[in-house]
């Protein structure tokens, strides 16, 4: 047995994810949950519902989270980290409030949260914290004492998140026809968000064009492009950060270009092949399976442009090991020890506690696990 690892003061980890439908009858109620009060056009919802129906009404995200849970439990057990791992979602069963209630009834008082979103932004961070605050309020209304919740820092630049994606790109390049491998471009993709949300993402000092959201993605893209250059011996391979999965009304500006427009533009410029690298996502969920593997891949076929799509980290054991590292780092720092946070790239490790004004909401709402949390 390995020497026991110390995660005090934490007594449990909560994997907090988006959630997704598990069958055709779940699709519409799931979309209603996601879009409550968010003003997404009806047409867009119908279209997104069709994406789910195309896959039997089942989002792959739930099985991917089950696989990640298994990987985390195995990694923790193999390394002597005695920390129970729970799973709750923002938009579908198992619902966050139900999981937190179970955790409280199992006696857990200090809970660390791992969100399946690696970057800053309202949608990728504060919205998760708002849902945590809502669930804590629901428990309080039931007469339960809300547990104390902390959220792990953004892990976009942790080597356990970046390294598997580098390998994914190398594998994708190997899948392309040999004569275009060397000249293939890389298209790093992430979820488009309104430019107003991007510009205010991150801490107050980071606000500005594109905000922390764009900066963080560019840092990861550059890290991957540099490593791929080194390992293939092909220097100067062109790459670009592009966007996908836009929703919202057409007159509201969102981050661009869209991956499909980008493929068209590259093709017209004579680029012989493109590897799509979905760095914005933790697993191959619907955004990846539909927007990239179905829609963008069909677009490329229509153009006659060879493309490959590289893997997300999913349940890669190196990602599970990274989460163990982040848990131990945060636990040590909560105990007042000198910790050495691990981060690649130029931005350094992200903050442990989201400060005031971080990734603001359009309409201010209570958010847990931040400096402005009513529960800290």
Please indicate if the annotation marks 59 as binding a ligand: yes
- 224 φψ region: left (φ > 0), alpha (ψ -120 to 50), beta (else): alpha
276 lines the binding site for ligand HT9 (CB under 6 A): no
Report the nearest approach of ligand HT9 to the CB of residue 206 (Å). 16
Q: Which stretch binds ligand HT9 (CB under 6 A): 7-15, 31-39, 136-144, 260-268?
A: 31-39
57 lines the binding site for ligand HT9 (CB under 6 A): no
Distance CA(271)–CA(50), nearest Å, equals 32
Report the nearest approach of ligand HT9 to the CB of residue 293 (Å). 12
- Counted residue by residue, the chain has a size of 376
Closest CA to 119 of 33, 251, 241: 241
Structure tokens at 163: 């390294």
Backbone angles phi, psi at 219, to 5 degrees: -65, -45
- Using alpha carbons only, what angle is made at residue 255 by residues 251 and 256, rounded to the nearest 5 degrees? 95
Please indicate if the annotation marks 287 as binding a ligand: yes
Identify which of residues 335 and 365 has a Cβ nearer to ligand HT9 in the complex: 365
- Give the count of beta carbons closer than 10 Å to the beta carbon of residue 357: 14
The residues, any chain, with a CB within 8 Å of residue 276's CB and separated by 6 or more, are: 187, 189, 259, 292, 296, 307, 308, 309, 310
124 lines the binding site for ligand HT9 (CB under 6 A): yes
Please indicate if the annotation marks 192 as binding a ligand: no
Report the nearest approach of ligand HT9 to the CB of residue 52 (Å). 7
The residues, any chain, with a CB within 8 Å of residue 102's CB and separated by 6 or more, are: 86
48 lines the binding site for ligand HT9 (CB under 6 A): yes
Distance CA(352)–CA(349), nearest Å, equals 9
314 lines the binding site for ligand HT9 (CB under 6 A): no
Report the nearest approach of ligand HT9 to the CB of residue 268 (Å). 28
123 lines the binding site for ligand HT9 (CB under 6 A): yes
61 lines the binding site for ligand HT9 (CB under 6 A): yes
Backbone angles phi, psi at 278, to 5 degrees: -80, 70
Question: Of residues 174-233, which lie at the interface with ligand HT9 (CB under 6 A)?
Answer: 191, 193
Peptide bond into 82 cis (omega under 30): no
Q: Which stretch binds ligand HT9 (CB under 6 A): 33-41, 152-160, 341-349, 365-373?
A: 33-41
Please indicate if the annotation marks 51 as binding a ligand: no
- Integer angstrom CA distances of residue 121 from 150, 157, 306, 375: 17, 15, 32, 21
Adjacent-strand bridge partners of 240: 187
Distance CA(213)–CA(216), nearest Å, equals 5
Q: Which stretch binds ligand HT9 (CB under 6 A): 55-63, 309-317, 325-333, 366-374?
A: 55-63
Identify which of residues 219 and 287 has a Cβ nearer to ligand HT9 in the complex: 287
287 lines the binding site for ligand HT9 (CB under 6 A): yes
Report the nearest approach of ligand HT9 to the CB of residue 123 (Å). 4
Q: Which stretch binds ligand HT9 (CB under 6 A): 35-43, 202-210, 301-309, 327-335?
A: 35-43
DSSP strand pairing (85-89 vs 12-17): parallel
65 lines the binding site for ligand HT9 (CB under 6 A): no
Binding residues for Fe(2+), as ranges, are: 191, 287
Report the interface residues with ligand HT9, using CB under 6 A: 18, 20, 31, 34-35, 38, 40, 44, 48, 59-61, 116-117, 121, 123-124, 191, 193, 245, 247-248, 280, 285-287
Binding residues, as ranges, are: 59, 128, 191, 287
């Amino acid at each position: 047995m390995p020497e026991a690892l110390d995660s005090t003061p934490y007594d449990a980890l909560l994997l907090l994810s988006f959630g997704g439908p598990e069958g055709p009858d779940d699709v519409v109620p799931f979309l209603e949950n996601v879009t409550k009060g968010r003003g997404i056009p009806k047409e867009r919802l119908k279209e997104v519902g069709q994406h789910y129906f195309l896959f039997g009404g089942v989002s792959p995200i739930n099985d991917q989270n089950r696989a990640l849970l298994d990987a985390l439990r195995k990694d923790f057990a193999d390394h002597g980290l005695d920390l129970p791992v729970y799973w709750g979602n923002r938009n579908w069963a198992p619902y966050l409030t139900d999981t937190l209630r179970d955790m409280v009834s199992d006696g857990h008082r200090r809970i660390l949260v791992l969100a399946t979103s690696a970057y800053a932004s309202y949608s990728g961070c504060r919205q998760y914290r708002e849902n945590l605050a809502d669930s804590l309020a629901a428990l309080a209304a039931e007469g339960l004492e809300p547990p104390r919740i902390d959220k792990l820092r953004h892990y976009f630049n942790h080597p356990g998140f970046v390294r598997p994606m580098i390998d994914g790109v190398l594998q994708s390049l190997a899948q392309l026809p040999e004569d275009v491998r060397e000249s293939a471009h890389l298209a790093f993709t992430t979820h488009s968000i309104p430019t107003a949300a991007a510009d205010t993402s991150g801490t107050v000092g980071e606000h500005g064009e594109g905000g922390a959201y764009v900066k963080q993605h560019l840092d990861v893209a550059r890290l991957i492009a540099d490593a791929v250059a080194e390992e293939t011996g092909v220097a100067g391979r062109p790459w670009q950060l592009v966007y996908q999965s836009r929703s919202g009304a057409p007159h509201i500006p969102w981050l661009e270009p869209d991956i499909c427009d980008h493929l068209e533009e590259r093709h017209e410029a004579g680029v012989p092949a493109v590897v799509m690298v979905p760095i914005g996502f933790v697993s191959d969920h619907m955004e990846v399976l539909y927007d990239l593997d179905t829609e963008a891949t069909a677009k490329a076929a229509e153009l006659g442009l060879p493309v490959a799509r590289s893997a997300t980290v999913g349940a890669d054991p190196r990602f599970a090991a990274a989460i163990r590292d982040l848990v131990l780092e945060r636990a040590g720092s909560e105990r007042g020890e000198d910790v050495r946070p691990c981060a690649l790239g130029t931005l350094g490790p992200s903050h442990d506690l989201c400060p005031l004004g971080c990734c603001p909401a359009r309409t201010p709402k209570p958010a847990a696990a931040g400096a402005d949390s009513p529960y800290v």
